[in-house]
Every structure is written in structure tokens, then in C-alpha cells.
Amino acid sequence: MDQPNAILDALTRITERADIFRHGCEELFGEINLTEVHCLHWIGTLDHPNVTRIARQMQMTRGAITKITRKLMGRAFVESFRKPGNEKELYFRLSGGGVALFEEHRRQHEQARREKLELLQAFSPGEQTAILGFLEGVNLQLDAKLKGRRSGE
């Protein structure tokens, strides 16, 4: 098989396995799916997280985020609050269980990052440049497709 097709096959295997492993969420997070974990991530990361800010970060609709945050509140992972003097805007913060999931997700990402950095050390700076260029190109294609879906194309 030629090298470009071998590269694409390897990328496909990575994508398929990523869908299966889902950061190991099945074992560690049980009742909560990956989208909900990522919503927790943004609630724990953003300054004054609200539906609009979370939706922007997750590239989802405000309606979808509202649904997710209600589910997370129902499971006591998240609580909502309003700032004094601003009864209009609803904000979110992690509760005890949400903090634990947020921290475990952060730890998993840090571990995965360390493993990938270790793997990259085997490649020369020129090879790393080529790898980066390819991956940035893939991300640009995906961004364009996501943008097309959101605009109804």
C-alpha cells in the first residue's frame, strides 16, 4: 500500500478507537456521556459560565446546552446561580460530584498529553512540522464541515 493511503488508514483507526474509548468515560464516568463531561469542563474552566459562553466553546446550540445543563443539575453535578443585581442572566458552577468529574477528566487529558508528547520525541523537528501541517489541514476541513452544518448548507 502506498504511504498516503497508509496514513489515512492509520488516521481512520485512531478516529474509530477514539469513539470507542471516549477518554475512558465508560468506566470512570458511568452515567454521564462525553458531551456532558465536556460541558462540565467548560463550566469548570470558563469565567462566569452561562449557556451562551458554553455553547460557543462547544460549538453547539444554546438549546442543546440548556438541555445538557438541566440534566447535569438534575444529577447534582452542576448548580445554577444569578449574580446580585442581574436577575436575567443564569450562570453555572460545579457542585461536589461535578468537581470530581472535572478533575478526573483533566487528569486523563494530562496523561494522554504526556503520552503523545513522549511519542512525538521520536520524530525529528522536520517530521513534527509535517505532522502538524497535516493535522492542521484535517482540522481546517472539519471546521469547514461543521460551519456548513450550522449554517444549513
The model carries a pTM of 0.72
pLDDT at 76: 94
Regions of the chain where pLDDT drops below 70 = 1, 16-30, 150-153
Q: How far is CA 33 from the centre of its chain?
A: 11
pLDDT (tens digit, 9 = 90+) per residue, 88-115?
899 999 998 999 999 998 998 899 889 9
pLDDT at 9: 77
pLDDT (tens digit, 9 = 90+) per residue, 66-77?
999 999 999 999
Determine the Cα angle at 101 with ends 96 and 106, to 5°: 125
pLDDT at 30: 67
pLDDT at 24: 46
pLDDT at 94: 97
State how far the Cα of 119 lies from the Cα of 27, in Å rounded to an integer. 25
pLDDT at 92: 98
